[in-house]
Each structure stands twice: as C-alpha cells, then as structure tokens.
Amino acid sequence: MKVRMGIVSIVFFSGFLFSQSLQPNTNSKVTTAVIDFDGLGITTMEAITLTQRLAGEMVNTNAFILVDRSQMKEILSEQGFQQSGCTSAECAVEIGNLLGVEQMVSGSFGKIGETYTIEAKLFSVETSETIRAVNKTYKGAVDELITQVELVAWDIAGLEPPQALKEKAGIPIDEPKVVKSGGGKKWLLWGGLLAIAGGAAYALTLEEDADDLAEPPPPPPAPRMLFGGGR
C-alpha cells in the first residue's frame, strides 16, 4: 500500500513539474524604448502619431516592458537631452543608456506618391547590434496605414499577429489546423502525462505481481512410503 501511494505521489508531482516547464516565461520581457520615427514625406505630427500607435501595439504583444512616452521625455529633459533630431543609431543608443533600457526601437515613415514605407529597427543598447529589422511597403488609404503600423509591432516582437488584426489588414486567414499555435506544447504536455501515467500503471502491475508472489504456494503433500509386509 505504501508503495502504491508513493507511485501516485510521484505521478502527480512529475505532472506538475512537467506542466510548469511548458509554461511561458513571463520574466523574459525586455525593457525597451521607442524614439520618435522620422517623417519623410509626411508631417512631423503624423510621424509622432504613428510612432505612438506603434508603441501602443508593442505593449499589446506582451513581449516588451515599454518606457512610457511621458516618462521618457521627463528623463531626457532632466538630462538636458533633446530627442528631436536623434536619427542615428549612436544617438538612439545614448538615449537608451540614459533611460536605462536594454533595447531601443527607431525608424522612419515615408511617403512616395501614394505609397507609404515603414522602416523599423530593434537593436541592443549594450552592443548596438540589430536584433530585428522590419521593412514594409503599403499602397492605399492613409487610414489603413495605422493597421500596417500595428502589424509592424508584431513583426518587431517576432510574433504572429492575432487573427483579428490579420482580418483588419485584409491578410488571408489560414485554414484551421489540427494543432494551432501553442498546440504542440499542449500535445507534448498530454503526451508526457500519459507516459507518466502508463509508467505508473506498469509499476502498479509489477507491485500486484509481487504481492501474488509474496506468499509461496503450499508444499506438495509428502509421498506415502509403502513398506512391504510380512511374507
């Protein structure tokens, strides 16, 4: 009985550890700041508005710890640093060091005729190396440009945008699959738990067999010895 309870405890404890190992790491977010993008062919106010929309969608990705714009302006003002005119990577790194963040995002919005361009770059403040660069070209109504900026935010995070955003952008929706995003982990979790349960069942079977063999069978009756009588 003690062995059986021990096996059950091991099953539940192992399943708990296994499920915890598949949980997303909520501590993997990186402190990040977004500086105002340059506006090429659009007004400064339009560039600032689009930058704010980009930063807001980056928060929705849940992949960054983003410095608030007002807080960033306050810190830079205290340091006597003007964000306007900061277009080079070196300048962005300097701002990142002042803000104490690990990553920075910079870029530009442009317009040529009826075509809009979006260029964004995520890079490390410590090494100045580019982590991810996104370039997008869009031709259409200016109102739909915001949707394209939201898509860029997910590209910067390296994540698949949600279906609702894809629909808004007119991106064809993929056919439903048996295993969706994150489904592989679920199958892996259930497969691991089933394997643990199967091992426990096998161990219980061995225990029952051991119980059956614990008591040896009774010895066979002693053979009768027939002695010869007299003549």
In a domain, 127, yes or no: yes
| Residue closest to 142 by CA, chosen among 172, 173, 118 | 118
| Residue closest to 170 by CA, chosen among 148, 185, 191, 154 | 148
Q: Is pLDDT of 212 > 60?
A: no
How many domains in the chain? 1
Of 118-127, 137-146, 151-160, least confident by mean pLDDT is 137-146
Other Cβ atoms closer than 10 A to 179: 10
The pLDDT confidence band at residue 7, using thresholds 50, 70 and 90, is very low
Q: Which of 35-49, 177-191, 200-214 has the highest mean pLDDT?
A: 35-49
In a domain, 126, yes or no: yes
The pLDDT confidence band at residue 158, using thresholds 50, 70 and 90, is very high
In a domain, 194, yes or no: no
pTM higher than 0.75, yes or no?
A: no
In a domain, 85, yes or no: yes
Q: Is the alpha carbon torsion for 172, 177, 183, 188 positive or negative? A: negative
Cα radius of gyration (the chain): 33
Report pLDDT digits (tens) over 19-42: 444 444 445 799 999 999 999 999
- The CA distance from 76 to 65, in Å, is 18
What is the CATH number for 127?
3.40.50.10610
In a domain, 6, yes or no: no
Tokens of 112: 């040529």
In a domain, 199, yes or no: no
- The CA distance from 35 to 73, in Å, is 10
- The CA distance from 174 to 158, in Å, is 18
> For the residues 123-132, what does the mean pLDDT come to?
94
Task: Give residue 140's pLDDT.
Answer: 86
In a domain, 75, yes or no: yes
Q: Is pLDDT of 99 > 50?
A: yes
- The CA distance from 28 to 158, in Å, is 14
Q: Is pLDDT of 101 > 60?
A: yes
| Residue closest to 120 by CA, chosen among 42, 54, 30, 43 | 54
If DSSP states are collapsed to H, E and C, what string results for the chain? CHHHHHHHHHHHHHHHHHHHHCCCCHHHCEEEEECCCEEECCCHHHHHHHHHHHHHHHHHCCCEEECCHHHHHHHHHHCCCCCCCCCCHHHHHHHHHHHCCCEEEEEEEEEECCEEEEEEEEEECCCCCEEEEEEEEEECCHHHHHHHHHHHHHHHHCCCCCHHHHHHHCCCCCCCCCCCCCHHHHHHHHHHHHHHHHHHHHHHHHHHHHHHHHCCCCCCCCCCCCCCCCC
In a domain, 3, yes or no: no
Task: Give residue 60's pLDDT.
Answer: 96
Higher pLDDT, 203 or 65: 65
Task: Give residue 175's pLDDT.
Answer: 55
Which residue do the tokens 């699959």 mark? 177
Domain that holds residue 52: 33-169
